[in-house]
Amino acid sequence: MIKRKRQREHGKIKLSKYFQDFKKGDKVAVVRELAVQPKFPKQLQGRVGVVESKRGRSYIIKIKDLNKEKTYIIHPVHLRGLK
């Protein structure tokens, strides 16, 4: 897996990514934002989950891992909404 961005994606992160708003039940994909510290676990890259609730600035996401449902607290900069 390549740990770099494409040329057009370099530079400052858009503020709209920081302040994304999701509702309960929305489907989201987990996409690591490498420019944000701390780094994000590789095992979640590309996974799809469902928004359960909001905790502070972050969201609680339910992701199915094999046969188990796991919950993760993820900042919205690492999330991308799906239709």
User: How does pLDDT run along the chain (83 residues), one tens digit per residue?
Assistant: 567 778 888 888 888 988 999 999 999 999 988 888 777 778 888 999 999 999 999 999 999 988 999 999 999 999 999 98
pLDDT score of 42: 82
pLDDT score of 36: 84
Domain architecture of the chain: domains with CATH: 1-7+26-83 (2.30.30.70)
pLDDT score of 6: 81
Q: Are 28 and 80 in contact (CB under 8 A)?
A: yes
Quote the pTM value. Answer: 0.83
Q: Are 69 and 62 in contact (CB under 8 A)?
A: yes
